[in-house]
Structure 1
Amino acid sequence: MILTVKEILDATEGKLLSGDINICVSGISTDSRTIKSGDLFIPLKGERFNGEEFIDDALNVASASLTESINYIRHDNKPIIFVKDTKDALHRIAKYYRSKFDIPFIAVTGSSGKTTTKDMIYDVLSMKYNVLKTIGNFNNEIGLPLTLFKLNDDHEMAVVEMGMSGFGEIRRLKNIASPNVAVYTNIGVAHIEKLGSRENILKAKSELIEDFKDGDTIVINADDDMLIKLLDKKGPKFVTYGINNGNIKAFDIELKEESSKYKVLIDGCVLDVELNVPGKHNIYNSLAAICIGIQFDVNKDDIRKALSEFQPSAMRLNIIDAFGIKIINDVYNANPSSMKAALSVLGGYAGKRKIAVLGNMLELGQYADVAHREVGEHVKENDIDVLITVGDYALKIADGAVEKGMDKNNVFRCGNNAEAIDVIKNIMKESDVFLVKGSRGMKMEEIVKFLQESAYK
């Protein structure tokens, strides 16, 4: 990327405190530790940090900096731009830079499955186009702008992920990225602590399409009882997918331990789809990718090939063989929908002892008790042999499993990861299958690491 100081001033409505307006920057950084020559440093503020404290250090390398201090003085005449709010300035610069590219922008949102769906869409589109995508889950008000700054003239389209925890957040992301295609995965109860109901979650997610009009496209999971309400919107084109409903429907589904396959009808032709990832939820994710592939005229065989070669991101249902045991590493995050999906995958392992190590699901507010209890019921329904819970909220998972009929002698309640590891040490046997899953704040990768290092030999 190349932006002049003048362009930055115009985009941010800032004031030049020093330096030449014709100087160019070739990158944007919010981290003084990784700053590079040519970068513009944007010092953000948070509850526990203040980027303004690192402007001098950053400018030892960077070419220019923003600041919220009108009296900031620098004696080497590097460009310093005063702005009222550095995060708002980041958004304004990203919005301006995005406007330079007249290419399709696809935004993916939903309560779960966003990252996997985004990655599958990227793989499908990459069979024909040069595509920019959100790295990992850089899906918030900092990550999305930083993704957009990676756009260059070679990119023919972009697929970005949009997350939120409250009203207004998706709107701000939408205003920055200006997508013309929206993909919705589902509406669950993730972040219900702030929003209070699934209806409000749908309302917040709907901010993405509030400006959509003729020529724009909305892709939705037609099996989701909340998302189908979006079909009332007039103007944009709707494409629906699902297993029970939708324009693009999966049928003849075969769910295996570590893979799945199904058929789908496209333009009168049956397409056989094979996935090297397990779970019914991944069929939904791949159907969304198929919809986008069709929308952008990707060859059907290329769609099939891309999906057959898809590999999930780290800590997202990664299946690891470790010295006689198997580990389903799904520790990146957790909400009720993704917990149940992962348990269904674990339940698909026949003839082996199935052990679920489940931690707290956070940000559920008043729904926390019932949501954890329902996950516990799902443990029993999937014939899980051993349950190990980690954390105070997860105690309700144990309660739900026992109340559903699970043998209480096979249920272990732990306060932290260390206690869970102690339990695992005592019960682990050759050929066990472990599912490890919990919210990001639980850091349950510690348990995965133990299993990998100390598995039965």
Structure 2
Amino acid sequence: MYNAESINKILKGELLQQTGSSSIEHILLDSRKLNFPESSLFIPIVSPRRNAHQYMEELYRKGVSNFLVSEDVNLALYPKANIIHVKDTLQALHTLVAAHRHQFHIPVIGITGSNGKTTVKEWLYQLLEKDYNIVRSPKSYNSQIGVPLSVWQMKPENELAIFEAGISQPGEMMNLEKIIHPNIGIFTNVGEAHDEGFLNVRQKVNEKLVLFMKSELLIYCKDYPVLNECVSSFHNTVGKRDKENSLQLLSWSRKMEADLRVISVDRNDNHTRIDALYKSEPHYIRIPFIDEGSIENAIHCWALMLYLGKDPEVIRQRMEGLTNIAMRLELKQGINNCSLINDSYNSDLGSLSIALDFLQQQQQHPTRTLILSDILQSGKSDASLYEEVARLLQKRGINKLIGIGKNITHQKKIFQLLDNVKSQFFNSTEEFIRDFNPQEFQSETILIKGARVFEFERIGKRLEQKAHQTILEINLSAIQHNVKQFQSYLKPDTKMMAMVKAFSYGSGSFEIANLLQFLGVDYLTVAYADEGVDLRRSGITMPIMVMNPEPSTFDAILQCDLEPEIYSMHVLQQFLEEVRLSGKKEFPVHIKLDTGMHRLGFEEKDIASLAEMLTATDLLKVKSIFSHLAGSEDPKLDALTRKQGKLFGEMSHELQKALGYGVIRHIVNSAGIYRHPDLQLDMVRLGIGMYGVNSSRETQGQLRNVSTLKTTVAQVKHLKTGETVGYGATWKAKAPATIATVRIGYADGYPRALSHGKGKMLIHGKLAPVAGIIAMDMLMLDITAIPNVEEGDEVIVFGEALPVEELSKWAGTIPYEILTGISQRVKRVYFQE
């Protein structure tokens, strides 16, 4: 057990103030994820964009009494707190957790590589959970922040640890090695992930091998030439430390001699049989997957199981029982106006806390419901385990709990004592399904969190709203990455306004706004007042600017504290009268200037009279002055952009001088943030770049794809020569052909202009052209060159492998039009990795 004094001794810091010796069990890095204030140590991380020391006062008021700081603090503000001063809080975090790790003498498996880290970790857990009490990284916690949080979970009851490690630039793995200090290493593979941070692949591989510099065993695949060469060199330099502590290599290959020599890989009926030789003895396994990635991940796990000496028959049984790993938390539309978060593949305290964080982001419904199974393999007594779960639910504002399983049901009295939490308990999933009444779920956000043996996917199917098989998947983690990427281009004091107009460019309304509010974006912008009203009804409290305020909506704007754009004297006069009648004072507005776009806005000749009107009343308070650039993404228009920027500077300066108080100024959009950093001013407006689309070549490669539109094959038809397809019989088979009818049409937002082969979709990773004319609800694809297509197969309309930019080029339009044109009948599924 730790306290401020023992932690200060580990860190060799300065104990500025000690007012008690409360035990410290939890590390808190994000003020929004506070669960156990009394036993938490807040470590404020300092980054170029954000200094987390600013949240100390808020956390102190919420009961946190242990702080690690790297800045001078006013001790008088924290009279009952323990405060430790260090030079660097991130480095101190690493040092503290490394010391914690070295208290344990159990096998620790470290996993790195370009892909498959999380799958290998989770499959090893599935394969070994019956033999060991295992602690592992939650989800894909493998960064400079995620690894310490993972390793801090190690407890005396654990018998095996499995942690993954990822890096994005040189020098990072040395920090992670000290924290994980693995006995056994697995290097999954070599790919292109995070290549931009390294000179070449060889440098990246050598950096990742640092994780195993003190390991006893390294498992790897010899079929990656660069990896094989780097491992050999690594083994020659650091691997032969001494006879007792030398690094042992366990290689596997499908191409050459290796410790585990794969002889054959046979796929059949969604299963794969893999035969191999290990120590000259024949072995085989069967796995319920046929894709290359799963085969590779399974062989890594197989190699470790063989090394551990597990019985071959036990290995075969467990390998055949491997299940898909859900890498994400999915947010879907549920029945009866509910929102449904599906995380039904495991249940442990670490992943429960992460899922509850995601649940807490959702503000669209007043009721939060948790359906929770027994928590397995915790190492705690049932009473202490569920007491901790109960405290977690109370802190996270859960209103309803449905517990499923004999253990949680046995401990139901713990939950029944919670304030404002209604609870029900069932001994099994079957019992819940038998008594299931859909009318008991109304306008609430429901989190399904269960160990895989409880088969909670059966519950999910009953709670999920049945919808069109064409879906738009939105990756919330990718949006978060893109926002942070653009933030990295900004000066430290520059604010960010995020555009969520037009249903967030087709991606959704409150779902995206909830995330942006959680990320601490400064402003949201909508096109019309009704969009802002919907966000307010969904629990969005942050400032919202309305770009096209109409007189008929002024009352709603005032009632919902929306902030209108004022772009003309006529609109100004009308809104002033509405504010006067409401009795409000200093209502926030945003002044739009026309600097050359000639769409909306006050011109240079209007500034004097505008200033006179604004200074003659106390009814309004100007929050920002802004303008639009006509061509910030186009180098050919840079002269115009500079001209607009100069004019905006002059006009805004004159207006601001007349107002006599500070006003936020903003003019650049997504492309301008990077291309015109001198125009970032006080705030920038991030629009389509947030969704992974940007017209700036320099930044496109650094953004992640957000949206994937997919559908399914409804029917496959085999045509004879001369037979036709679709309305007007415009497509004719020149030879025997195969056609797939898919569930998407122009009513879903797929442009009719992509008829006659202009548009293409991906089936089985291959492009299939549109055959004939696109209909309202269906279209046909020519799949003659793509074998083995069956009804129900997935079809990618656009996404990672087929960018929406490509689709827009085929249609002769822009990505904005494609994204915003996706019909509301297309089901949106949101997920967080």
Q: Fold match, TM over 0.5?
A: yes
Q: For 2:305 and 2:472, how far apart are their aligned partners in 1? A: 29
Q: For 1:305 and 1:31, how far apart are their aligned partners in 2? A: 42
Alpha-carbon offset, residue 300 of structure 1: 2.5
Question: CA-to-partner distance for each residue in 1:68-87, whole Å, 9 max, x for gaps?
Answer: 22233144322111122211
Q: For 1:267 and 1:97, how far apart are their aligned partners in 2? A: 38
Cross-structure match for 1:244: 255
Kept in 1, the 8 Å contact 2:93–2:148? The answer is yes
Kept in 2, the 8 Å contact 1:125–1:298? The answer is no
Alpha-carbon offset, residue 99 of structure 1: 0.9
SS at match of 2:96: helix
Cross-structure match for 1:43: 44
Relative to 1, partners in 2 of residues 1:333 and 1:27: Cα closer, same or farther, differing over 3 Å?
A: closer
Kept in 1, the 8 Å contact 2:28–2:41? The answer is yes
SS at match of 2:264: strand
Structure label with greater radius of gyration? 2
Cross-structure match for 1:353: none
Kept in 2, the 8 Å contact 1:326–1:433? The answer is no
Kept in 2, the 8 Å contact 1:17–1:82? The answer is yes
Aligned structure 1 segments of 4 or more residues deviating by more than 6 angstroms: 320-334, 359-362, 364-369, 383-388, 422-425
Alpha-carbon offset, residue 159 of structure 1: 1.1
Q: For 2:324 and 2:693, how far apart are their aligned partners in 1? A: 21
**Residue 303 of structure 2 corresponds to residue 291 of structure 1:** yes
Q: For 2:200 and 2:139, how far apart are their aligned partners in 1? A: 28
- Which structure carries more relative contact order (alpha carbon 8 Å, separation 6+)? 1
**Residue 131 of structure 2 corresponds to residue 142 of structure 1:** no
Q: How does 1:261-276 map to 2 (within 5 A)?
A: 261-267=273-279, 269-276=281-288
Q: How does 1:354-393 map to 2 (within 5 A)?
A: none
**Residue 582 of structure 2 corresponds to residue 222 of structure 1:** no
Question: CA-to-partner distance for each residue in 1:340-384, whole Å, 9 max, x for gaps?
Answer: xxxxxxxxxxxxxxxxxxx9899x999969xx9xxxxxxxxxx99
Kept in 2, the 8 Å contact 1:361–1:438? The answer is no
SS at match of 2:218: strand
Range that drifts further, 168-177 or 243-252: 243-252
RMSD of aligned Cα (Å): 4.4
Q: For 1:405 and 1:26, how far apart are their aligned partners in 2? A: 52
Relative to 1, partners in 2 of residues 1:238 and 1:77: Cα closer, same or farther, differing over 3 Å?
A: same
Cross-structure match for 2:635: none
Relative to 1, partners in 2 of residues 1:291 and 1:102: Cα closer, same or farther, differing over 3 Å?
A: same
Question: CA-to-partner distance for each residue in 1:274-308, whole Å, 9 max, x for gaps?
Answer: 22233122111111111212222333333223322
Cross-structure match for 1:438: 800
Kept in 1, the 8 Å contact 2:181–2:211? The answer is no
Give 2:250's aligned amino acid. Answer: V
Q: How does 1:154-165 map to 2 (within 5 A)?
A: 154-165=157-168
Q: Could you tell me the percent identity over the aligned residues? A: 21
Kept in 1, the 8 Å contact 2:22–2:39? The answer is no
Relative to 1, partners in 2 of residues 1:194 and 1:75: Cα closer, same or farther, differing over 3 Å?
A: closer
Q: How does 1:117-266 map to 2 (within 5 A)?
A: 117-209=120-212, 211-212=213-214, 216-229=216-229, 230-232=231-233, 233-234=235-236, 235=240, 236-245=247-256, 246-256=258-268, 258-266=270-278
Q: For 2:315 and 2:470, how far apart are their aligned partners in 1? A: 30
Relative to 1, partners in 2 of residues 1:237 and 1:85: Cα closer, same or farther, differing over 3 Å?
A: same
Which ranges of structure 1 fall in alignment gaps of 5 or more residues?
335-358, 373-382, 389-397, 411-421
Q: How does 1:49-128 map to 2 (within 5 A)?
A: 49-59=50-60, 60-73=62-75, 74-128=77-131
Relative to 1, partners in 2 of residues 1:315 and 1:118: Cα closer, same or farther, differing over 3 Å?
A: closer
Relative to 1, partners in 2 of residues 1:195 and 1:332: Cα closer, same or farther, differing over 3 Å?
A: farther
Relative to 1, partners in 2 of residues 1:179 and 1:27: Cα closer, same or farther, differing over 3 Å?
A: same
Range that drifts further, 301-310 or 223-232: 301-310
TM-score, normalisation: structure 2: 0.41
Alpha-carbon offset, residue 177 of structure 1: 1.4
Q: For 2:260 and 2:23, how far apart are their aligned partners in 1? A: 47
Kept in 1, the 8 Å contact 2:741–2:779? The answer is no
Kept in 2, the 8 Å contact 1:109–1:205? The answer is yes
Relative to 1, partners in 2 of residues 1:361 and 1:8: Cα closer, same or farther, differing over 3 Å?
A: farther
